[in-house]
């Protein structure tokens, strides 16, 4: 039998557990948080082990990642992204005239709160009700009934309709800052570690993440497109590349095709040359393979990005212009399905048939007319939108 005592000491020692990149804690199976490479809040799926302890994951999630997600919330809502866990929170929207609406995670718009208005005129009182659900509309109608007992609210319900916005919505897009920047840099470190790079090799990145006064080693890069085979879909990507000759370990992150960020992770890299990319379509949740990202940047390029010299006028708008039509097209298809569903439900509810009964010939003839009647607002809204483009 082999003598275990003759084996090298290193062979008999268990592999040391990694340390959390943000605190001295040793990461074990019990406290490994499995950090997302791209944040779950914006649709990321892939995770990396041995990066953050649970405590640091919670702290950075509640601070850095929460601010990052808040800044990208308007685009996450607009594109109706999907998450590995949970849904995108409803987005409060304001029109140019000051009306408030809420966009749900399924892309549907509702009023921010129920509205009950009475306007006195020469011929009587006009009551206007806006509700988010039929149940809520019924509650408002009951309120009307209490004020005006003579009103037959059953005659009013069939007159309700699904209204579409006829004015523009104001959306403010603000991105960047210390907390959001730390979240982005953390993503690049996560991909580097996942690719076999030691966390300590990400020298500048770790200095920024662990030191409250650390230098923000990231900047926006829109001077040219670093992706040679840019896909015609909405996506996020994170990439890292190390070059031992130049000593540069560079990260790149892009979100929704609009925000493009270069990260100077280290200027003293001595490991093996490599490049790694992770990309995902946040709408479908599918990973995108084969993205070719050119990270052969110089120290001068990175410094210029830090100094906001890599954002020519119009380049961010150009990026947004390529993906906004995708969101609008998805909105149209989603609303078309919802409108048809509402119209069919309306038709069956108002054709005169009771639930479970077979339709008569007369009721069958009513159905197409009722469906068309209920689809009219959707058709009129989209015809008007096409004329305005």
pLDDT of res. 385: 58
Mean pLDDT of 170-186: 90
Q: What are the respective helix, strand and coil percentages of the chain, to the nearest 5? A: 40, 20, 40
Mean pLDDT of 101-122: 77
pLDDT at 51 over 90: yes
pLDDT digits (tens, 9 = 90+) for 127-165: 777 777 777 877 888 888 888 887 777 666 545 556 677
Place of tokens 């995708």: 326
pLDDT of res. 160: 53
What does each C-alpha distance from 29 to 34, 51, 219, 225 come to in angstroms? Answer: 10, 12, 35, 41
Helix axes 66-78, 178-194, angle to 10 degrees: 90
% of the chain at pLDDT higher than 90: 50
Domain boundaries, the chain: 100-166, 210-316, 322-388
Q: Which DSSP state fits 61?
A: I
pLDDT of res. 9: 43
- Which range among 2-11, 230-239, 364-373 has the greatest average pLDDT? 230-239
Cβ atoms of 46 and 36 closer than 8 Å: yes
pLDDT of res. 388: 54
pLDDT at 247 over 80: yes
Please provide the DSSP assignment of 193-230 as one string. Answer: HHTT--GGG-HHHHHHHH-TT----EEE--SS--BTT-
pLDDT of res. 224: 92
Whole-angstrom Cα distance, residue 249 to residue 171?
36
Contact partners, residue 306, CB within 8 Å, separation at least 6: 216, 217, 218, 219, 264
**Residue from 295, 226, 229 nearest 263 by CA:** 295
Q: Which strands, in side-by-side order, build the sheet including 100-103?
A: 109-111, 100-103, 91-95, 169-170
pTM of the model: 0.81
Structure tokens that stand for 206 in this block: 């770790």
**Residue from 253, 180, 267, 178 nearest 215 by CA:** 178
pLDDT of res. 384: 61
Mean pLDDT of 297-302: 96
pLDDT at 10 over 50: no
pLDDT of res. 70: 93
Q: What are phi and psi of 101, to 5 degrees?
A: -135, 165
pLDDT of res. 136: 80
Give long-range contacts, CB 8 A cutoff, 24+ apart: 326-333.
326/79, 326/233, 326/234, 327/78, 327/79, 327/234, 330/79, 330/80, 330/107, 330/283, 331/80, 331/107, 332/382
Conformational region of residue 93, where left means phi above 0, alpha means psi within -120 to 50, and beta covers everything else: beta
pLDDT digits (tens, 9 = 90+) for 320-357: 888 888 888 888 888 888 888 888 988 888 888 888 88
Mean pLDDT of 93-111: 78
The residue with greater pLDDT, 337 or 126, is: 337
């Amino acid at each position: 039998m082999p003598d275990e005592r003759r084996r090298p000491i290193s062979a008999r020692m268990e592999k040391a557990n990694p340390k959390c990149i943000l605190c001295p804690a040793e990461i074990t199976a019990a406290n490994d948080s499995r950090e997302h490479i791209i944040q779950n809040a914006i649709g990321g799926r892939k995770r990396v082990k041995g990066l953050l302890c649970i405590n640091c994951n919670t702290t950075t999630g509640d601070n850095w990642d929460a601010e990052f997600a808040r800044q990208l919330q308007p685009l996450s809502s607009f594109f109706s992204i999907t998450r590995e866990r949970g849904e995108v929170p409803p987005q409060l929207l304001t029109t140019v005239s000051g009306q408030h609406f809420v966009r749900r995670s399924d892309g549907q718009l509702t009023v921010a709160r129920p509205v009950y208005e009475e306007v006195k005129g020469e011929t009587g009182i006009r009551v206007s009700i806006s509700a988010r659900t039929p149940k809520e509309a019924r509650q408002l109608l009951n309120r009307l009934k209490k004020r005006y007992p003579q009103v037959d609210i059953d005659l009013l319900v069939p007159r309700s309709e699904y209204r579409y916005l006829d004015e523009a919505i104001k959306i403010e897009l603000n991105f960047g800052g210390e907390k959001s920047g730390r979240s982005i840099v953390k993503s690049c470190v996560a991909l580097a570690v996942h690719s076999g790079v030691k966390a300590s090799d990400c020298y500048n990145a770790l200095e920024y993440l662990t030191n409250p006064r650390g230098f923000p080693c990231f900047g926006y890069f829109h001077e040219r497109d670093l992706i040679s085979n840019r896909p015609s879909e909405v996506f996020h990507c994170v990439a890292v590349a190390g070059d031992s000759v130049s000593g540069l370990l560079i990260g790149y992150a892009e979100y929704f095709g609009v925000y493009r960020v270069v990260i100077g992770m280290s200027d003293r890299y001595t490991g093996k040359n490599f490049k790694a990319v992770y990309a995902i379509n946040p709408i479908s949740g599918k990973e995108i393979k084969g993205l070719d990202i050119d990270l052969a940047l110089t120290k001068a390029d990175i410094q210029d990005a830090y100094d906001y010299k890599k954002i020519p006028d119009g380049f961010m708008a150009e990026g947004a212009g390529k993906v906004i039509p995708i969101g609008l097209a998805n909105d149209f298809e989603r609303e078309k399905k919802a409108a048809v569903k509402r119209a069919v439900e309306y038709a069956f509810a108002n054709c005169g048939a009771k639930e479970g009964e077979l339709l008569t010939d007369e009721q069958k003839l009513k159905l197409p007319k009722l469906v068309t009647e209920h689809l009219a607002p959707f058709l009129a809204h989209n015809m008007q939108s096409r004329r305005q483009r």
